[in-house]
Structure 1
Amino acid sequence: MPHGSAALSFEGRRRLVRRCQHRPIAHVAAEAAVSRQCLSKWYARWRRHGDAGLHDRTSRPEHSPTATPKAVIEQIIELRKRKWSARRIHLELAQEGTDVAVCTISRILVRHGLNRLRHLDVDGEPLRAPGKIIARYPGHMTHLDVKKVGRIPDGGGWRAHGKHSPQAKASDRARKKGQRIGYTYLHSAVDGFSRLAYTEAHDDEKAATAIGFMFRARVFFTAHGITRFTRIVTDNGACYRAHDFTRAVHSFAAKHQRTKPFTPKHNGKVERYQQTLARELLYAAVFESEQHRRDRLRVWQVHYNYHRPHTAAGDQPPASRLPARVTNLMRSNS
């Protein structure tokens, strides 16, 4: 949806159709850089419906002759409540002379929340309702994760010199010989309540590295006033499945919670933070070396926690939701 003051949004269209009352449509369309047919359509809608006709309309067709009839949809839902599979429902309808594809039946079941049998009770009604994972206070849920990114060679990689540059070709030749430059592992921790984040770059993702990072992250959060840690949330990576990591968590937190396999949304706060990190830092600038990127990471982390507005914090920086601050850097507009 365009914003309210866009050139060809509702307000722009209203101005154009008013000009068409006294001037040829083709002339007004040429001045506004739109086609005559487009402006004629808006003008006809305005004459028929007034200003209400200039709003954006849905692209959904008024009539769908091939849509599944409502009675068939109700029959599919009724058969599903008997714990029938989509294939069995398809065969049952085919015997009655109604040909509905299995994929169509599956989409109907997803639309009505009946796609997973284990989520239905004995009467066929959904057992689960969609909800949000909400932290009630600072330290209630601390989310940990690791992001693996390629190392930057000294002098810069292909993003600095181009894919067909001599540096990029040399890197390709080395890779074919088995001389890989390796990866950097970004260990991140995010407080679920304030979205305060802490990230370190390491050379591996072993359990010992994850444990050391977690305790340093705890010191960072404690300096911001987060002294009570209830739940540490991680995925099922090898470093987080280690017994030593679980014992380390229980030394200061009440629970170590691992997310359900193949369900990254359960650890979504740190996953979303990593997307922001990649978009605004990792791939937003040209770095001359791996150390250059790591130095910029420390600067960007201060920007993220103290200056960058966050929608979950009411368009305020994450540190604004915590009682303590550990930096006095001023905002830079350069």
Structure 2
Amino acid sequence: MLHRNAALTPRARLRLARLIVDEGWPVAQAARRYDVSWRTAKRWTDRYREQGADGMQDRSSRPHRSPARTPQPMVRKVVHLRCKQRLGPVQIGGRLDMPASTVHAVLVRCRLNRLRHIDRTTAEPVRRYEHPHPGAMLHVDVTKYGNIPDGGGWRYVGRFQGRRHRNATAVRTGNRGRNWAPKVGTAFVHTVIDDHSRVAYAEIRDDEKAATAIDVLRNAVAWFTARGVTIERVLSDNGSAYKSFAWRDACHELGITVKKTRPYRPQTNGKVERFHRTLNDGWALARFYNSEQARRKALPAFLHHYNHHRPHTATGGLPPITRLTNVPGQHN
């Protein structure tokens, strides 16, 4: 990339060199024409004679040799201490008898200066990927929330009042658990995320059985199809619903390839896991709901805001729907 005060662009360099080599201009006269020094004009002329038009491009300023560079065995020790023990430059420098500035330079070069660049569990570099087009991969999962009793939950009204609300709701519904304890139930939110666009689809159900997961998948495929997206693969964890033969057969019927994450590795399905945090902060616990019905009624509005209006860092600060084309309501 040219610096801001560069006198010659690659095209101007080529014109300068051709004036001297092809048309026979004196070097000093061509240098005055392009307002550069004689030495600069001579350098580009010599490079044009040796390499032709390809030689007019900028070269890397990286040196061929770096005798004072940190030896590779020492670099490996720095990386080992950083990954295995999460030590900082000062602590690593103290152990290896190196300046902290040198350790920091090594970590920057190895892209380990931030701990978020490595996996917390395995200390391996974080590997990020994105499929090339919408529909190439769907991420599916289920997240659970306790139903909100009538009058509001304990997070907003306090534990004492929340307990009274639970009891009142149990009296109204007759839903009791073990030892006659009040029971308000659980909301199972089945979420579906498109890998490329981050467009989200979600439904609230009363369980996470295979039949329910299959029904949600069919609805999600129909929803994406209406927006011009053809689903090719689906990635899920190793939950019982997704390991069932019914799930496999349903995906085969829909023409979808089944993919599974590594056991005990939720990072493999990280996009939908991250969406669950957004769902938690933006909808489930975002404000006070006086009943479970009120919270469920707010989910479609949140999904519309997430898909159509909320900037997403993975899509260049634009809403996820912008990665789909000709979608009804896209520009509303």
Sort the Cα spacing of 1:306 and 1:230 in 2 relative to 1 into closer, same or farther, 3 A: same
Tell me the amino acid that sits aligned with residue 314 of structure 1. Answer: G
Q: Is the 8 A contact 1:139 1:226 kept in 2?
A: yes
Alignment of structure 1 residues 171-250 onto 2, 5 Å: 171=166, 177-227=180-230, 229-250=231-252
Q: CA deviation at 1:130?
A: 5.5
* Inter-partner Cα distance in structure 2 for 1:156 and 1:258: 38
Distance 1:177 1:138, change over 3 A: same
Q: 2:328: which partner in 1?
A: 326
Q: 1:155-198: CA deviations, max 9, x gaps?
A: 22213322232x42463797763332110000000000000000
Choose the corresponding residue for 1:149, options 122, 145, 148. 145
CA distance in 1 between counterparts of 2:305 and 2:322 reads: 13
Fraction of identical pairs, as percent: 36
Q: Offset at 1:64?
A: 5.5
Moved more, 292-301 or 244-253: 244-253
RMSD: 3.1
Q: Which amino acid aligns with 2:135?
A: G
> Does the 8 A contact of 2:150 with 2:165 survive in 1?
no
In structure 2, the residue matched to 1:274 is 276
Secondary structure of the 1:164 match is: helix
Q: What does residue 133 of structure 1 align with?
A: 129
Partner Cα separation in structure 2 for residue 262 and residue 293 of structure 1: 31
Equivalent-residue separation in structure 1 for 2:157 and 2:331 (angstroms)? 33
Q: Deviations over 1:34-67 (max 9, x none)?
A: xxxxxxxxxxxxxxxxxxxxxxxxx8538955x2
2:254 is matched with 252
Q: Distance in 1 between matches of 2:330 and 2:323?
A: 16
Q: Name the CA distance, whole Å, in 2 between partners of 1:169 and 1:181.
A: 12
- CA distance 1:142–1:170, change in 2 (3 Å): closer
Aligned length: 218
> Could you list the runs of 5+ residues in structure 1 that have no partner in the other structure?
1-58, 71-110, 117-127
Uncovered stretches (5+) of structure 2, i.e. residues with no partner: 1-87, 99-116, 171-175
Map 1:47-86; keep pairs closer than 5 Å: 60-61=89-90, 65=94, 67=95
Q: Retained in 2: the 8 A contact 1:223–1:326?
A: no
Deviation at 1:288, TM superposition (A): 1.2
Give yes or no for contact 1:235–1:267 (8 Å, CA) kept in 2.
Answer: yes
Residue from 255, 262, 265 that aligns with 2:264: 262
Equivalent-residue separation in structure 1 for 2:199 and 2:237 (angstroms): 19
2:26 match: none
Tell me, yes or no, if the aligned pair for 1:233 and 1:259 is still in contact at 8 Å. yes
| Contact 1:232–1:253 (Cα < 8 Å) also in 2 | no
Superposed, which structure 2 residues align to 1:84-123 within 5 Å?
none
Q: In the alignment, residue 286 of structure 2 is paired with which amino acid?
A: A
* Aligned twin of 2:312: 310
Verify the 8 A CA contact 1:144 1:270 in the aligned structure 2: yes
Deviations 1:227-248 (A, max 9, x none): 2x22100001111111111111
**TM-score with structure 1 length normalisation?**
0.59
What CA distance in whole angstroms lies between the structure 1 residues aligned with 2:250 and 2:297? 29
In structure 2, what is the Cα distance between the partners aligned to 1:263 and 1:63?
29
* Matched residue SS, 2:145: strand
Q: Letter of the 2:205 partner, please give it.
A: H
Q: Structure 1 residues 206 and 195, CA, compared in 2 at 3 Å: closer, same or farther?
A: same
CA-CA distance at 1:294 after TM superposition: 0.8
**Partners of 2:228 and 2:222 in 1: how far apart?**
10
